[in-house]
């Protein structure tokens, strides 16, 4: 069974029959050819069978009307045909039966959205057909003798499937309207529980598509049992540990204690006060969540969004609810919500994120990884204070390292919510209210834009083209009173998600890749012209070596520049150590007890203090700040997140074997050259992803290296207790930094350069290995076992043309 049939059964509310259809081999073609007796066997219950027949007839009528698909005639009239004949697997692609999307005949009163849906439908059908063809070809190859070329081709067919997914991170403080925004944009009311005064989201929530069935599902991933045991261990010692500080009433100092008490009360109620940490790990406290003890995910499955929202509240929120006895958010790492039948989430995951990470190590590691993988971030703030909302701007600043050089963010959207809330208006007409809202929206956009321009650190990474302000009203979009849908700007955000989905490129990449593989197979099955392939191979190898030399030259120049910048950064870091230590160890605006608590937290947590509110304090980043500044600009130029140039000053994107120029010269090798062209494009896509992933590791290596060097210092300082603890911690850190400053910054520099050099070597190695393997196997391998695929190639070529024409229409 293919994805088209699966999708249709889901849409028609008949997902329980997917396995039956799959077992019976019902695919796109045979779906349209089902007769009464076939349907009776597949669906034995009268009610579901009647619904299926009605839906199938509607589908046939709609497609006949639109001219998009030829409904199957009596296929069973075809007798004595081979069961593996492609004409029985796929619809006809002849001119008379070809599905086509004639948008020019669409009535002018039709909505653009309908056109978009029809275009998506056509693409889906084409992709489905090509996947069926390649499954058929793969089966053919499996029946052949095992050879190097045969194995190579089957691997290439398997590699056609890719999971392209864009992450959109959604930040905002409690009450800003994050969850209402997500619910409105994806068009599902009451999916995520909305925050109020008594409840706020406490864990990361991913929202993505459910492609398997029609249910609303939540996958709950817990922290490790050992991590919770470590947190509980602090129950036995935090009063003793900070005994000398109890007389002070400093917010900063009490922050961690309040946070711990909040977590314990959520999970255990008041029982924790009479129990030891060992007793609190008793299995009876986790009867409702045995998955936590088993280190597995808990799956919640519901038929409606509102039902799922109620069920998952205790895992995602902190707050009070008389019906909920225990709240499990303190031990939840992440919740993934899966939404059925949602076009906005086809290749996009929305992530509701806490502002600046988490005190729990595994949650914080996941937070950093997700933020680093976001191609877009939405900063959400109420419109009445958006420009002056210090917390929102702090969130953006604190995440900047993970979005810019340490990430892959290309878009920052500042979203001003509740644009419809104006306060009390007496005797105002709907037109007056609309005018007031639109006018305030314009002013808010201008004010937020001015604030963004003041952020010099952010502007280093992101141009004005990356930044956009939206003024939205989720309430007005869901239930219009005074605004048109477009004035709520929710449709504009939906269009953005549709573009981010970019399902067209997924289809195009698969179809063109399939055409390349079939071209190679057909070329291999034909008798080669003596000597021709050897000459073509030599020319391609010469071109490859020239291209590799060009890349090496560019990389050598970049590496030399990195060395120069980092050397300057090392010297600046050494000379600035004294001032960094002074401002960190002896802050003038903090009380003695606050300083004590912050430094205690820093040495306990590997150089990092995370307040419940406000900016993270990261001593490792402070130490490497001048090293990072020295390389920031060159790093951004070498590994840009935006623009079309690509990494290494565009030299990877410019890589080409010039096969199009060779085609007129070597007409007998046209099919093999077509394959090599598609392989070249696939390899560049693979390289760009590899570079994108590795550049984050390279950039963050400066801080990571210093953190590893400082680990011994932090562990030693964390042992101090009692009188003079604060001064002992200060002196330990100061002495350690002075002792290791010469070697520490030098090592951080060298680690970054080693990682950069390794990436460069991996790129060159992969380019040379993969392209030479493709050239060798496509042109210099004699293999008589490759089956004839002329029919399949012809079909895919026609589908490729159809895809192009539907795109142009």
Q: Among 28-32, 552-556, 605-609, 770-774, which is the least confidently predicted range?
A: 28-32
Q: Could you give the CA distance from residue 603 to residue 626 in angstroms, rounded to a whole number?
A: 22
Q: Which residues pair with 204 in a beta bridge?
A: 334
Q: Among 181-195, 204-218, 298-312, 727-741, which is the least confidently predicted range?
A: 181-195
Helical segments of 271-360, H only: 290-294, 305-316
Q: Please check the confidence at residue 762 and state whether its pLDDT lies above 90.
A: yes
- Produce one character per residue of 239-260: b if its CB has 16 or more CB atoms within 10 Å, e if not: eeebeebeebebebbbbbbeeb
> Does residue 338 contact residue 209 with C-beta atoms inside 8 Å?
yes
Q: Which of the four pLDDT bands, split at 50, 70 and 90, describes residue 717?
A: very high
Structure tokens at 293: 């003890």
Q: Which residue has the higher pLDDT, 105 or 700?
A: 700
How high is the pLDDT of residue 120?
Answer: 63
Q: Could you give the CA distance from residue 99 to residue 799 in angstroms, rounded to a whole number?
A: 10
Q: Identify the H or E element spanning 472.
A: none
How high is the pLDDT of residue 83?
Answer: 34
Place of tokens 């914080």: 364
The mean pLDDT value for 696-716 works out to 96
Q: Are strands 348-352 and 166-171 parallel, antiparallel or unpaired?
A: parallel
Q: What is the pLDDT of residues 199-241, one digit of tens each?
A: 456 789 999 999 888 899 999 999 999 989 888 877 665 545 5
How high is the pLDDT of residue 608?
Answer: 92
How high is the pLDDT of residue 79?
Answer: 33
How high is the pLDDT of residue 201?
Answer: 64
Torsion, Cα 324 326 329 334, to 10 degrees, reads -80
Q: What is the pLDDT of residues 465-500, one digit of tens each?
A: 899 999 999 989 988 888 889 999 999 999 999 888
Q: What percent of the chain has pLDDT over 70?
A: 85
Q: What percent of the chain has pLDDT over 90?
A: 49
State the chain's mean pLDDT as an integer: 84
- Closest to 491 (Cα-Cα) out of 178, 177, 187: 187
How high is the pLDDT of residue 647?
Answer: 92
Q: What is the pLDDT of residues 272-288, one digit of tens each?
A: 888 888 889 999 999 99
CATH class of 3-64: mainly alpha
Q: Which of the four pLDDT bands, split at 50, 70 and 90, describes residue 245?
A: very low
Q: Which of the four pLDDT bands, split at 50, 70 and 90, describes residue 511?
A: very high
DSSP labels for 160-184? T-----EEEEEE--TTS-HHHHHHH
Distance of CA 691 to the CA centre of its chain: 16
How high is the pLDDT of residue 589?
Answer: 80
Q: Could you give the CA distance from residue 746 to residue 634 in angstroms, rounded to a whole number?
A: 19
Q: Identify the H or E element spanning 320.
A: none
The mean pLDDT value for 65-73 works out to 46
Q: Which of the four pLDDT bands, split at 50, 70 and 90, describes residue 401?
A: confident
Structure tokens at 682: 């696939």
**3-state class of 198 per DSSP?**
coil
Q: Which residue has the higher pLDDT, 213 or 75?
A: 213
> Does residue 199 contact residue 193 with C-beta atoms inside 8 Å?
yes
Q: Which residues pair with 339 in a beta bridge?
A: 209
Using N-to-C axis directions, what is the helix angle for 112-142 and 503-525, rounded to 10°? 30
Using N-to-C axis directions, what is the helix angle for 490-501 and 178-185, rounded to 10°? 70
Structure tokens at 99: 């599905």
Q: Could you give the CA distance from residue 365 to residue 350 in angstroms, rounded to a whole number?
A: 18
**3-state class of 473 per DSSP?**
coil
Structure tokens at 708: 């590893």
Q: Which of the four pLDDT bands, split at 50, 70 and 90, describes residue 198?
A: very low
On whether the pTM is more than 0.85, the answer is: no
Structure tokens at 646: 């690509």
- The domain spans of the chain are 3-64, 123-159, 223-241+257-339, 531-780
Q: What is the pLDDT of residues 142-194, one digit of tens each?
A: 888 888 888 999 999 999 987 778 999 999 887 888 989 999 999 998 898 76
Distance of CA 544 to the CA centre of its chain: 33
Phi/psi for 382 (5° steps) reads: -65, 140
Most confident of 78-82, 524-528, 783-787: 783-787
Q: What is the pLDDT of residues 336-395, one digit of tens each?
A: 999 998 889 988 999 998 766 666 778 888 888 999 999 999 999 999 888 888 888 888
> Does residue 365 contact residue 372 with C-beta atoms inside 8 Å?
no
Q: What is the pLDDT of residues 94-103, one digit of tens each?
A: 333 333 333 2
Q: Which of the four pLDDT bands, split at 50, 70 and 90, describes residue 319?
A: low
How high is the pLDDT of residue 646?
Answer: 86
């Amino acid at each position: 069974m293919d994805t088209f049939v699966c999708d249709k059964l889901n849409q028609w509310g008949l997902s329980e029959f997917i396995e039956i259809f799959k077992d019976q081999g019902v695919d796109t073609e045979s779906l349209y050819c089902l007769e009464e007796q076939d349907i009776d066997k597949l669906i034995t219950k009268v009610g579901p069978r009647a619904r299926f027949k009605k839906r199938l007839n509607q589908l046939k009528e709609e497609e006949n009307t639109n001219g998009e698909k030829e409904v199957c005639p009596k296929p069973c009239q075809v007798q004595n045909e081979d069961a593996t004949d492609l004409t029985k697997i796929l619809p006809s692609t002849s001119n008379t039966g070809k599905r086509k999307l004639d948008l020019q005949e669409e009535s002018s009163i039709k909505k653009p959205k309908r056109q978009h849906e029809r275009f998506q439908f056509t693409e889906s059908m084409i992709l489905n057909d090509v996947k069926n063809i390649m499954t058929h070809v793969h089966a053919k190859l499996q029946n052949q003798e095992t050879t190097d070329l045969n194995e190579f081709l089957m691997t290439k067919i398997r590699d056609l499937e890719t999971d392209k997914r864009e992450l959109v991170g959604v930040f905002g403080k409690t009450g800003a309207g994050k969850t209402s925004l997500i619910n409105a944009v994806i068009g599902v009311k009451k999916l995520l529980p909305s925050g109020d005064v008594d409840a706020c989201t406490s864990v990361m929530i991913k929202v993505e598509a459910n492609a398997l069935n029609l249910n609303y599902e939540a996958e709950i991933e817990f922290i490790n049992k050992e991590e919770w045991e470590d947190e509980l261990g602090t129950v036995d010692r935090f009063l003793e540990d900070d005994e000398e500080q109890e007389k002070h009433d400093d917010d900063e100092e009490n922050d961690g204690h309040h946070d711990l008490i909040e977590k314990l009360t959520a999970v255990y109620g008041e029982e924790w006060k009479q129990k030891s940490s060992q007793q609190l790990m008793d299995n009876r406290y986790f009867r409702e969540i045995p998955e936590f003890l088993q280190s597995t995910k808990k799956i919640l499955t519901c038929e409606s969004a509102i039902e799922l929202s109620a069920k998952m509240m205790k895992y995602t929120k902190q707050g009070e609810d008389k019906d909920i006895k225990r709240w499990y958010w303190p031990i939840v790492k992440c919740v993934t919500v899966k939404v059925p039948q949602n076009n906005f989430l086809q290749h996009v995951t929305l992530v509701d994120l806490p502002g600046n990470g988490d005190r729990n190590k595994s949650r914080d590691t996941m937070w950093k990884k997700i933020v680093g993988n976001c191609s877009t971030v939405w900063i959400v703030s109420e419109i009445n204070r958006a420009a002056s909302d210090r917390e929102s701007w702090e969130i953006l600043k604190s995440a900047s390292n993970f979005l810019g050089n340490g990430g892959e963010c290309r878009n920052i959207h500042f979203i001003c919510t509740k644009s419809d809330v104006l306060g009390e208006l007496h005797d105002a007409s709907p037109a007056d209210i609309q005018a007031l809202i639109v006018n305030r929206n314009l002013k808010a956009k201008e004010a937020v834009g001015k604030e963004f321009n003041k952020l010099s650190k952010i502007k280093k990474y992101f141009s004005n083209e990356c930044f956009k302000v939206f003024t939205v009203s989720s309430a007005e979009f869901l239930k219009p009173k005074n605004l048109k849908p477009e004035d709520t700007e929710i449709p504009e955000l939906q269009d953005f998600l549709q573009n981010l989905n970019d399902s067209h490129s997924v289809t195009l990449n698969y179809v063109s890749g399939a055409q390349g593989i079939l071209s190679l197979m057909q070329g291999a099955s034909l008798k080669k012209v003596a000597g021709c392939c050897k000459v073509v191979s030599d020319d391609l190898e010469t071109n490859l070596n020239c291209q590799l030399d060009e890349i090496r030259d560019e990389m050598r120049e970049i590496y030399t520049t990195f060395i120069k910048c980092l050397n300057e950064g090392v010297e600046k870091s050494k000379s600035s150590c004294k001032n960094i230590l002074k401002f960190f160890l002896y802050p003038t605006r903090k009380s003695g007890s606050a300083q004590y608590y912050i430094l205690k937290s820093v040495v306990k947590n590997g150089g990092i203090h995370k307040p419940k509110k406000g900016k993270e304090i990261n001593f490792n980043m402070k130490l490497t700040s001048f090293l990072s500044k020295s390389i920031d600009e060159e790093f951004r130029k070498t590994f840009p997140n935006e623009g079309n140039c690509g990494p290494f000053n565009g030299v990877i994107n410019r890589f080409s074997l010039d096969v199009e120029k060779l085609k007129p010269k070597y007409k007998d090798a046209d099919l093999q050259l077509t394959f090599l062209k598609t392989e070249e494009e696939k390899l560049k896509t693979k390289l760009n992803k590899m570079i994108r992933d590795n550049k984050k590791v390279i950039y963050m290596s400066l801080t990571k290296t210093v953190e590893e060097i400082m680990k011994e210092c932090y562990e030693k300082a964390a042992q101090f207790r009692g009188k003079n603890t604060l001064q002992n911690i200060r002196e330990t850190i100061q002495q350690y930094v002075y002792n290791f400053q010469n070697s520490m910054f030098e090592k951080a520099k060298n680690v970054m350069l080693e990682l950069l050099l390794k990436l460069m070597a991996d790129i060159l190695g992969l380019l040379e290995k993969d392209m030479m393997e493709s050239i060798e196997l496509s042109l210099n391998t004699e293999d008589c076992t490759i089956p004839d695929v002329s029919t399949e190639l012809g079909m895919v070529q026609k589908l490729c043309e159809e895809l192009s024409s539907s795109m142009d229409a």
